[in-house]
A and B are shown apart, each in its own frame.
Chain A
Amino acid sequence: MPKSNFILIEQSYIIRKGLISLIEKIPNTQVISQIDNIKDIDNIQNYDPDFIIINSNLIDKDVSDYLSKNLENVQVISLSKDHNTSFSEINWIENILLNETQNSILKKINKLIGNRISNMPQRYTPDEISEREADILRNIALGYSNKEIADKLFISTHTVVTHRKNITRKLGIKTVPGLTIYAILNKLIDLGDTK
């Protein structure tokens, strides 16, 4: 799976560290650069980020113009103290509040990553099942439990169970070892990945 790259633009050391530890909880993500001074924003050009998380206080007309000129494919997530902070200058895709819970932030980021990945054409999904089901199946084949899969994908265990039922019905394969073979034959996972 391709990695999702993040750049953080935020003055506060503590907030940056907090964000990094949060983001890196999510599989296949990394923070490739941190900028603590908006004057260094040119540094961004050295990287190829998928997401920028930026403190909304730092956004003025210049920054906004700069970002929209230089980074077409980047999605901007704003970081603000509360809903009233103005950040209308920039076309942001998601807003994170400083007092938000871990779960809520993780959910937002996961959703963005999920959208990004499912928009990528090169990703392989077998004909028989949907992309979401392929995600679940991949995790089943890797040996994760329903609960673990639910936590990883930020859905309820009940939803995982429903997906599993559908996968089994569509493929005609009931057991975990059977599903694992299917996943390997269809290159959803590598043989070496299995527990």
Chain B
Amino acid sequence: MIITKEVKMADLIHMNYFALSVLNRFGIELGFGDKSVEEVCKQNNVDLGFFLDIVNTFVDQDYFPKKHLQTFPVKLITDYLQITHNDYNDSNVPEIEELIEKMVDSNQTQKDNIVLLKKFFNEYKEELQNHINREEEVVFPYAHAIEDAFNSNKIDKSVIELMQNYSIEVFQNEHDNIEEKLFDLKNIIIKYLPQPKDVKLCKKLLHELFSLEQDLNDHARIEEKVLVPKIREMEEIIHKRFSEETKNA
């Protein structure tokens, strides 16, 4: 089902309650009564088109936003992605670490196994951090530069050089699947780890892993289906304009 502006915001949450984290990132709080998506967005100063793209990407894996250029600015996308990165670093990852730590403490009998999980997650954390750093240091600044050039009156030669050294295609190709390890961790806990003493902790941990995995999946889809096509389209137009401008000069 595609979420349209007429859908009630409450129904969206009923459909997929993990979408709460998306709302959070837009600063939208609960208590919206029977208001529609459009009304809630207006009330919170949120770009409706952008919100719909993000939310639909989240609830439907196969959703592919169509009109890239007409709608929202690139900065809106990268800001959203940035907030999501911060969420991972400040909330999701520490939460999981804390749960694993508690499990180590409460499972004297199979401490070795839990320590193994801990080591695994530490490695994962590092991998995630590298992934995030690369995007914040290389990809986002590049996307901003392309948008600036796209909006300027005249295409500067430096932008063309920039595009020769890097392009969004490079990012598309090198963008790795950061959820794989999480998927493994989940499966190990579900299928192969001898049942720890504190089952509640274990379930909580699983819940956190599931939710981080889903969020990462969605996050990657936004990067690949919203950000990349938009930048690619801008790159093409910039190239075209530049060759026309140099021809006329």
Closest CB-CB distance, A164 to chain B, in whole Å?
14
Closest CB-CB distance, A168 to chain B, in whole Å?
10
* Interface residue A172 (Cβ < 8 Å from any Cβ of B): yes
Among B115-123, B148-156, B197-205, which stretch is in contact with chain A?
B115-123
A191, closest chain B residue (CB): B112
In A20-77, which residues have CB < 8 Å from any B CB? Answer: none
Q: Count residues of B near A (Cβ-Cβ below 8 Å).
A: 17
Among A2-10, A117-125, A153-161, A173-181, which stretch is in contact with chain B?
A173-181
- Contacts A185-B192, A185-B193, A186-B192 given; does A174 touch B184 at CB 8 Å: yes
B116, A178: Cβ atoms under 8 Å?
Answer: no
* Interface residue A182 (Cβ < 8 Å from any Cβ of B): yes
In the bound assembly, the distance between CA atoms of A177 and B180 in angstroms comes to 11
In the bound assembly, the distance between CA atoms of A184 and B123 in angstroms comes to 17
In the bound assembly, the distance between CA atoms of A191 and B193 in angstroms comes to 15
A173 in complex: contacting residue of B112, B123, B188, CB < 8 Å: B188
Number of A-B pairs whose CB atoms are under 8 Å? 46
A175 in complex: contacting residue of B117, B181, B193, B194, CB < 8 Å: B181
Contact with A along B152-190 (1 / 0, CB 8 A): 000000000000000000000000000011011101100
B187 in complex: contacting residue of A171, A177, A184, A191, CB < 8 Å: A171
- Contacts A171-B187, A186-B192 given; does A178 touch B112 at CB 8 Å: no
Return chain A residues, CB-CB under 8 Å to B185. 178
A172, closest chain B residue (CB): B187
In the bound assembly, the distance between CA atoms of A133 and B123 in angstroms comes to 26
Return chain B residues, CB-CB under 8 Å to A186. 192
* Interface residue B106 (Cβ < 8 Å from any Cβ of A): no
B120, A174: Cβ atoms under 8 Å?
Answer: no
* Interface residue B191 (Cβ < 8 Å from any Cβ of A): yes
Q: Which residues of A contact B (CB under 8 A)?
A: 171-175, 177-179, 181-182, 184-186, 191
17 contacts between A and B (CB under 8 A): A172-B191, A173-B188, A174-B180, A174-B183, A174-B184, A177-B120, A177-B184, A178-B181, A178-B184, A178-B185, A179-B184, A181-B116, A181-B117, A181-B120, A184-B113, A185-B116, A185-B192
Q: Which residues of B contact A (CB under 8 A)?
A: 112-113, 116-117, 120, 123, 180-181, 183-185, 187-188, 191-194
